[in-house]
Structure 1
Amino acid sequence: MPLPPAPRGPSHPPPHRPLAALALLGLLAVTGCGTPGAEPGAPGPSAASAPAPYWVNPDGKAARAVAAHRAAGRTAEAALLGRISTHPVAEWIGPDRPEAEARALTEAAAKAGLASLLVLYDIPNRDCGLHSAGGARDGKAYLAWVDAVARGIGARRATVVLEPDAVMHVVDGCTVERQPGERYALLRSAVERLRRQPQVTVHLDAGNAGWAAPEKLAEPLRQAGIAAADGFAVNVSNFRTTEESVAYGRALSALVGGKPFVVDTSRNGNGPYAEGDPAENWCNPPGRALGEPPTLRTGDPLVRAYLWIKRPGESDGECRGGPRAGEWFDAYALELARNAR
């Protein structure tokens, strides 16, 4: 029986940070160094045992919030938010200066001896006009944007999560393309372009365990280029438990040629919110918690990593007292950290 839909909107890409400063951030990274591994884009074997398998941005929103609390003498709050700021979270590439931003981020990571974790989120008609509306004006502009990101990454190591919700919104009928398959063609082209970079791995977003049954997603993923991708991502910006996310991913993997996958564990420590309006339970739900810290050691050969793809502490949208999607929501961040096991 198909699972009931549970759509959600990922965070809007973050505001641009000063690019000159970003180029120096690798020197300030709070993680240890990794070494290049055999798999393009992934941290090497020594990084698997490090606290952070990817680069930690020392100028991220959580780090700035920690600094603000310390400056105000709120040491307890600063300590709580340290549970977020010391772990690597994905960097969502913005729409305006993709090449420069991708270059600055990957150069900073490379200086720390680590790979970058990036999210590409600019598909036309993004989020069906909801909390994270926007995206490239058309397919041609989108492919130019992807090409710019790829040039910015260059030969440096990066793991890319490609277009949260893009496939799922076709499956659930939210997105109606002008021509059948238009979005799939864009995603195929994006996968192929990114894979031309020598040390990039690409994971197509594949929804979450509460949105659609794996059987409904297998053919759309094939049309979107999963065969050429390194794998797929599940539970991005959602709250499904790691156990059910892994079960969902394994079932889907069996339908798409045994592809491995990554799981977003950023906010799934207490599982999904089950009260209130089911259609809004993805948006800043109360009582949630940080999940497993990012790691490459999952104990399952199909599960490539547990990652924090959604950045904990950033709002899902203007619901339950939150600011706009992607903006820092301090009270929510503190709750996530306070509830973490």
Structure 2
Amino acid sequence: PCPTSPGTPAPGAVLVAYNVPHRDCGQHSAGGAADRAAYGEWIDAFASAIGESKAVVVLEPDAVPHMVDGCTPAEYHGERSTLISGAVERLKRQPGVKVYLDAGNPAWIEDPEKIAGPLRRAGIAQADGFSLNVSNFQTDTATRAYGKALSERLDGAHYVVDTSRNGNGPLGAAGQDAWCNPPGRALGTPPTTRTGDPLLDAYLWIKRPGESDGSCRGGPSAGTWWPEYALGLARNTKG
């Protein structure tokens, strides 16, 4: 479960469903289910395990943005949209589950118009909204502006923001690998549902702020706990 600010209503466990076929285009977090049938079985088991509990599920980080930026080959787009929309439907059968379909971050798909259609095809109308900045470092200000613009293109959809590592914003002038274990970053806004914005349901620490992004800048493999990086995030945090 994600820690929350004092006095903040807990949203339940914060879970990430991350197993779509052809995950991460074969990059640092490559893998995923072997095929359509395997993914269906996996998401059914995932949902069943939640049972009657309250949970926020961030669904398939990067999966929709990778269809927009061309990283995922076009021949997989139709199947991926079907699998994700099916996952939304299955997860929403659990009475305590809220589902947010990942929409990347404002520095990735810069024009929200380009991702609105793919999100619709992936079933966002049946979800509780979309997630932004998962495992990234964009500022709260930039992310909220993007969230508002994307929401306007999705009939007022709500959203959540990952603030686990964005306290110092993104690393400047770092090229294409600015997202991968950048130095000098800090913890961001503590998790809370008190956002002051009716569209923004919560700030959450979706990425555990000590997990490596991959074997870059001396880090271990993606998803591995890296205590030195976690300590750096804590030391760089203001206040």
Scaled by the length of structure 1, the TM-score of the pair is 0.67
Partner of 1:192: 89
The CA deviation string for residues 26-76 of structure 1, in whole angstroms up to 9 with x for no partner, is xxx997xxxxxxxxxxxxxxx88536835xxxxxxxxxxxxxxxxxxxxxx
State the identity %.
61
Q: Which amino acid aligns with 1:181?
A: G
Q: Which of 116, 119, 132 is the equivalent residue of 1:221? A: 119
Q: Could you tell me which residue of structure 2 aligns to residue 93 of structure 1?
A: none
Contact persistence 2:186–2:232 (CA under 8 A): yes
Alpha-carbon distance in 2 for matches of 1:49, 1:340? 18
| 1:166 partner amino acid | A
Residue 237 (1) aligns with residue 194 (2): no
Q: Which amino acid aligns with 1:251?
A: A
Structure ID, larger Rg = 1
Deviations 1:246-286 (A, max 9, x none): 1111100000110110000000000000133x111100001
> In the alignment, is the contact (CA less than 8 A) between 1:143 and 1:186 conserved in 2?
yes
Q: Hey, what's the Cα distance between the residues in 2 that align with 1:300 and 1:294? A: 14
Runs of 4+ in structure 1 deviating by more than 6 angstroms, as ranges, are: none
CA distance in 2, matches of 1:290, 1:30: 14
> 1:252 aligned to 2:159?
no
Matched with 1:330 is 227
Equivalent residues in 2 for 1:168-179, closer than 5 Å: 168-178=65-75
Q: Which residue of 1 aligns with 2:165?
A: 267
Separation in 1, partners of 2:51, 2:222: 30
Q: Secondary structure at the match of 2:125?
A: coil
Q: Secondary structure at the match of 1:298?
A: coil
User: Which secondary structure does the structure 2 equivalent of 1:135 belong to?
Assistant: coil
Equivalences for 1:256-335 in 2 at 5 Å? 256-276=154-174, 278-335=175-232
Offset from partner CA, 1:148-198 (integer Å, 9 cap, x none): 111111111111000000000100111115355111010100000000111
Quick one: distance in 1 between partners of 2:9 and 2:51?
Answer: 23
Aligned residues: 237
CA distance in 2, matches of 1:126, 1:119: 14
In structure 2, relative to structure 1, the CA distance for the partners of 1:303 and 1:30 (3 Å cut) is: closer
Report the Cα distance in structure 1 between the residues aligned to 2:61 and 2:204, rounded to whole angstroms: 14
* Counterpart residue number, 1:130: 27
Q: Which amino acid aligns with 2:215?
A: E
**Structure 1: gaps spanning 5 or more residues:** 1-28, 32-46, 55-114
Please tell me whether residue 167 in structure 1 is matched to residue 167 in structure 2.
no
Counterpart of 2:51, as a letter, is: G
User: C-alpha distance in 2, partners of 1:53/1:281?
Assistant: 32
Amino acid of the structure 2 residue aligned with 1:268: N
CA contact (8 A) 1:177 1:183 kept: no
Q: Is the 8 Å Cα contact of residues 52 and 294 (structure 1) preserved in structure 2?
A: no
**Structure 1 residues 52 and 272: alpha-carbon distance in aligned structure 2, compared to 1, 3 A threshold:** farther
Q: Secondary structure at the match of 1:181?
A: helix
1:164 partner amino acid:
P
Q: What is the Cα-based RMSD across aligned positions, in Å?
A: 1.7
Structure 1 residue 205, shift from structure 2 partner:
0.2
5+ long unaligned stretches in structure 2: none
Distance 1:164 1:305, change over 3 A: same
Query: Where does residue 60 of structure 1 map in the other structure?
Result: none
Q: Normalising by structure 2, what TM-score?
A: 0.95
